[in-house]
Amino acid sequence: MNHPDSTRLNKAISDSGYCSRRQADVLIEKGLVTINGEKKTLGDRAMPGDIIRVDGKRIVSNDTLVYIALNKPTGITCTTDKRVDGNVVDFIGHKERIFHVGRLDKPSEGLLLMTNDGDIVNKILRAGNKHEKEYIVKVDRPVTDEFIKKMSSGVPLHELETTTKKCFVERLSRFVFRIILVQGLNRQIRRMCEYLEFDVVSLKRERIMNISLGNLEIGTWRDLTTEEIKGLQDAVLDSNNAPAARKIEGRERRGR
């Protein structure tokens, strides 16, 4: 029987802000995680006061939770690997160790959420949680009624062996449309357009769940407001207990 004060090892690592639970599981599987000098496996638990190390580096608790909205420019890569030129972590240059919630392709721009709250990342990304993401897309050919109908009805993506879920699509101008997805398939919008013989000229994410880009300038970021954090947490209540919001003042910073 588990000790009532113990915590799953992957959660203990994610709570520290080191990485998400999924990433922690990968590190544990690789044999890179120890507790009090003993190598651990998936499913193991940690007690308060235990010394947890990842690849030899001690993991400490993180009492400063950070939630950021970034207007990502094109050319920036969504990775925490600092060996990658133009990685998003170096671009922001935040003093806390933060990581991205989901991804946004290197050629794409717009809203990207970043945090050191591994628990909420796990809940947002968890399969079955239908969280809306809204995009403005420009293509190389006129947007027709037929295109709108096919995009919204579901498009077969043979390389991913699936068909996209029905979604909201509307034409904004001759070459531009809005699309709201509840899926996060790899390069989903670009693949959908390619199937219908359209090429994406530009793609911008405007909204994730209750967080909107608004007038945030490209290349800048801001802390989420207390209300925005509460909205995120309310949206993931069905994914077990979300952590309590910390008060964060909304202020804008320019990425470096």
* Catalytic machinery residues: 105
Radius of gyration of the chain, Cα coordinates, nearest whole angstrom: 20
Q: How far is CA 106 from the centre of its chain?
A: 14
Measured distance CA(18)–CA(12) in Å, rounded: 9
162 φ, ψ to 5°? -155, 170
Measured distance CA(149)–CA(143) in Å, rounded: 11
Measured distance CA(206)–CA(214) in Å, rounded: 8
Measured distance CA(221)–CA(147) in Å, rounded: 34
